[in-house]
Amino acid sequence: MGIFNRSSAGYEAAPVEVQVERGAITFFAETVGETNPIHSDVAAARAAGHPDVVAPSTYPVVLEMAASKETERKGQQEVLNLIGADMRYLLHGTESYSYQGLIFAGDTIDIISRVKGFSDAKGGTLEIAHLELEIRHASRGTLAIAQRDLIHRLPKEAAA
């Protein structure tokens, strides 16, 4: 039976435009303990041949949150609400990133969220939502694709 809205499988959200901000990248890099100066020092990034500071490899999660907030501001339905994620039972499953290009401060990017599908595990006591996030730049194309699984640990009444 489950909690997720499985009819949302195959959904692709309209692109959401997000501005990549230098201060946010620098703060994130410092917060996660990233010591490579290309992530926090403009001069170091430019000396390495980049136009501005480079977003660390796990930065797409920040961009996803920014896109979610922008979606809500526009009065549109955010993917977690669409799939019926119940935060009381939600667990973070696997997460992986595929990179085709770097993300720089100053970029204007589009975030496209997709609901790839759903599955069950542990004899029906767990249900899994398979989500995808594409980060696309107008001239450089797809920069990254993030895949993640969100898991509901079902309460006994929902698993029955």
| Total number of domains constituting the chain | 1
96 lies in some domain: yes
Residues of the chain predicted below pLDDT 50: none
Residue 80 and residue 120: Cα distance in Å, rounded?
18
Give the per-residue pLDDT at 123: 86
16 lies in some domain: yes
Give the per-residue pLDDT at 76: 86
As beta bridge partners, residue 112 has: 134
Which residue range(s) make up the domain with 113? 6-159
133 lies in some domain: yes
User: In CATH, what number is assigned to the domain containing residue 140?
Assistant: 3.10.129.10
Residue 17 and residue 131: Cα distance in Å, rounded?
19
Q: Using one digit for the tens of pLDDT, what is the confidence trace for 117-144?
A: 999 999 888 999 999 999 999 999 999 9
As beta bridge partners, residue 134 has: 112, 145
Supply angle C-alpha 81, 84, 88, rounded to 5.
Answer: 100
1 lies in some domain: no
